[in-house]
Amino acid sequence: MDTPLDKLTEEFRRLPGIGVKTARKLAYYIVQQPASRVDEFVDAIRDAKANMHFCSVCFNLSSQDPCPICSDISRDRSTICVVETPQDVQAIERSGDYHGLYHVLHGALSPLDGVNVEDLRIRELLQRLGNTTVKEVILATDPDVEGEATALYLARLIKTAGIRVTRIARGLPMGGDIEYADEATLAGAVANRQEM
């Protein structure tokens, strides 16, 4: 018979990177916390789910629309850095050296996994480039097979429109993940971006 504790353990197991032992430990921890702490946890989940949405301009996750980055008039509007995920935006922001705008694709091209052009925010990126005067698009997709394919695809399209296209330097290890790159590597990769 599955107890409520077993069911909570199962829920934790469904989270990314959480194995069965960690899931069990978290479930036991939760039920032994004071009710007020559990309420805080649940409220934080509900609040984040209810209030974090995709920015209608750049598709980053934000509690505002447009997001604080798109709304920040001090940022360089002539440069757009294209990334795969909102986490990548956070990672590049933490690296501190980039002051342009972003565009979040929400994935990378991977036909074998059924991720095609229409599944990413590519149409919205092209519309944005058509409606605004952008001088440079920095392609900061992950340095793996899918990220490289996505960068090549976008570079071809965007250069056709006469816009400068650069790719962040492969200072990042191949097969790596931008989200987990250290800040110096990431700042260097942006600084050494190359013409495509």
Contact residues for Zn ion, defined by CB under 5 A: 55, 57-58, 60, 66-67, 70
> 25 touches which of Zn ion, a second copy, none (CB within 5 to 8 A by kind)?
a second copy
Closest CB to a second copy among residues 47, 113: 47
Q: Which of 20, 55, 86, 150 binds a second copy (CB under 8 A)?
A: 86
Judged by CB under 8 A, does residue 46 bind a second copy? yes
Judged by CB under 8 A, does residue 27 bind a second copy? yes
Q: Kind of pairing, strands 61-62 and 100-104? A: unpaired
Question: What would the two tokens of residue 36 be?
Answer: 């007020």
C-alpha 41/C-alpha 144 separation (Å) is: 35
- Which of helix, strand or coil describes residue 1? coil
Pick from 112, 195, 118, 98: nearest CA to 155:
195
Judged by CB under 8 A, does residue 5 bind a second copy? yes
Judged by CB under 8 A, does residue 185 bind a second copy? no
C-alpha 183/C-alpha 70 separation (Å) is: 22
Amino acid letter for position 146: E
Closest CB to Zn ion among residues 40, 65: 65
> 176 touches which of a second copy, Zn ion, none (CB within 5 to 8 A by kind)?
none
> 3 touches which of a second copy, Zn ion, none (CB within 5 to 8 A by kind)?
a second copy
The beta strand positions in 13-168, using DSSP E, are 53-54, 61-62, 76-83, 100-104, 136-139, 164-167
Q: How many residues does the chain have?
A: 196
Judged by CB under 8 A, does residue 184 bind a second copy? no
Beta bridge partners of 109: none
Q: Binding residues for a second copy, per CB under 8 A?
A: 1, 3-5, 7-8, 10-11, 15-18, 21-22, 24-33, 35, 38, 40-42, 44-52, 61-63, 68, 85-87, 90, 179-180
